[in-house]
Amino acid sequence: MAFLLAPGAPCKDSLMARVVSLFRPLSLLAPVGVRRATVCRMSLDMRAREVFSTAIEAVQPDIVVRQGLERTGDALLVNGHSFTLKNNLHLVGFGKAVLGMAAEAERIVGDHLVRGVISVPHGIQETLRQHGKDQMLLKDGSHITVMEGAKHNLPDADAQRAADCIKELASTLTENDLLLVLISGGGSALLPAPVPPISLQEKQDVTRRLAGAGATIQELNSVRRALSLLKGGGLAHCAHPAQVVALVLSDVIGDPLDLIASGPTVWTEVWPEEIWSVLERYGLSSSLPVSVKEVLGRSAPRWEEAGEQSDRAAHVLNAVIGSNSIALECAGRRARELGFRPVVLSPGVCGDVQSVARLYGLLARFACSRDEPPPELPAEILKLGPETGVESWDLCRAMQVLGEGRGEGWGATCLLAGGEPTVQLTGKGRGGRNQELALRVGLELGGMELPPKGPLFLSGGTDGQDGPTVAAGAVTDAGLGEEARAQGLDTDVFLVNNDSFTFFSRLSGGQRLLLPGLTGTNVMDVHILLIPPIPIVVSGR
């Protein structure tokens, strides 16, 4: 079990001295009754990859759907609610995990399913076949139509056609129908339905420029909702008066239903002034297409009066059935089996990738210090909390465990975290936030010992696709900088050009890349920092 204390509790700056004192080793020997770490012959690299694989397995779509959807006779049970089945169930879905979710849902509801349409990533069916994941594929004779699109995580004409079909299905339903909506990460790109007269290209250009300027996922989704027919409750609006039940595999920090896939089943009021504020914040308000300005300038509400909206919302049930926290919990159990003491830092790491890399680099130095770290080190770590979305208490808790493990000889430690850092685009290279984070952490670790005596870091996207690349992420350690120099690779050039995939592809034949292929799921990213056992230094010997 991971070390647990109440997350998010405050850690006041005025208590800094007291906090730092907690990190002093209490004993030079492991306490009686504490077992030494299990001996494992796997390399740190192999164990990090194994822990990452376990995190992905824990949130496989068929598993989470079975846990969240139950049929008893002609009753469908979801989150404590019961719905009557009478050959009246229709199904739509969109997201990277939706194919597997739909296959399991169809197995559960059986002949009550009338028809379905799902929008899934380009190539995912063939990829799942190649990986032997037949349980995630629809059976012959399925009532569900599969439409692939959004190549390289970007909305395209194929995804828009799928969105049109989903909208058409939802719009034909009556009060006697039940619409099961399956939602997972990547759903925004797979459900593009711009408000006329905005074209898909215009909407895509606006969101791409926002992302490149460093906008958060919350800000991006707010703008997407304002420019979309189906997001922000638009799909539920189309389905009224049918009962809507949405099963959600979350890829957003904190699992806010209105932000996951931009909330197509969550009634959300769009305030034009809020959207204009976001656009102005990133310097885009003066260069918008005429069509976007026209839509944002409309005064009429998207939906009917508030009373009718409230009535419609009562016909919608949203249930989160999988998340990053679940993935980290299972990853921690696997880490323990592999000889590590697991510590979950946070499932909500965010902020600029440079700050996140700095945080992991400092935590590694804190954990690997053979002597008591200077007070400036934990102080600097705590200062990075607000920039990286990690509560001060969670940082204090993690440092206390790392300090005790170092001082009392508890053996190797596995620090786990999840989330979704952001990358400011300054170049035109190929990469993703996980690969750039791994590259930056490797540089932060420079000068430390190499594995197995030094730390190792892995960052990977649980969907198996980091940005528009075939890699999920990468593995790094303190030797990365020297390894790159020896091979004539200038890390600064690759970072400025946001070209981390090209960097890792060229470095040692791509051995550091994480290449699981499309996984069929998505709950943001997983970060793994492996800390080897630190020899106990006994003074006077």
Segment 302-319, tens digit of pLDDT: 655 444 555 667 899 999
Q: At residue 383, does pLDDT exceed 90?
A: yes
Note the pLDDT tens digit of each residue in 495-528: 999 999 999 999 999 999 999 988 888 899 999 9
**Are 457 and 356 within 8 A, CB to CB?**
no
Cα 72 → chain centroid: 33
Q: What's the pLDDT at 421?
A: 95
Q: Does 494 have pLDDT greater than 90?
A: yes
pLDDT given for residue 202 in this prediction: 96
Q: Which of 24-38, 334-348, 377-391, 469-483 shows the lowest mean pLDDT across its residues? A: 24-38
% helix, strand, coil for the chain, step of 5: 45, 15, 40
Over the chain, what is the mean pLDDT? 88
Mean pLDDT value across residues 312-338: 93
DSSP alpha helix (H) spans, 369-519: 376-383, 385-388, 392-408, 433-444, 480-486, 491-496, 500-506
Q: What is the pLDDT of residue 407?
A: 65
The kind and range of the H/E element at 417 are strand 413-419
The answer to whether residue 152 scores a pLDDT higher than 70 is yes
Within its chain, how far is the Cα of 376 from the centroid? 32
Q: Are 262 and 231 in contact (CB under 8 A)?
A: yes
Residue 5 has pLDDT above 90, yes or no: no
pLDDT at 443: 98
pLDDT band at 539 (very low <50, low <70, confident <90, very high): low
Q: Is the pLDDT of residue 446 over 60?
A: yes
197-201-204-208 Cα dihedral, nearest 10 degrees: -130
Mean pLDDT value across residues 262-274: 88
Give me the DSSP letters along 448-481.
Answer: SPPTTTS-EEEEEETTS--SSSS--EEEEETTHH
304 vs 20, higher pLDDT: 304
pLDDT of residue 22: 42
In this predicted model, which residue has the larger pLDDT, 537 or 233?
A: 233
pLDDT exceeding 70 applies to what percent of the chain?
Answer: 88
Residue type at 1 in one-letter notation: M
Query: Which range among 45-54, 78-87, 143-152, 369-378 shows the weakest confidence by mean pLDDT?
Result: 369-378
Tens of pLDDT along 199-241? 999 998 998 899 889 898 778 878 988 999 999 999 999 999 9
List the beta bridge partners of residue 529. 415, 457
Q: Which whole-number Å values give the CA distances from 302 to 139, 196, 268, in the listed order?
A: 39, 13, 10
pLDDT at 293 over 90: yes
Tokens of 277: 């504020």
For the whole prediction, is pTM greater than 0.85? no
* Distance between CA atoms of residues 219 and 418, nearest Å: 20
Residue 1 has pLDDT above 50, yes or no: no
Whether residue 364 contacts residue 528, with contact meaning beta carbons closer than 8 Å, is answered with no
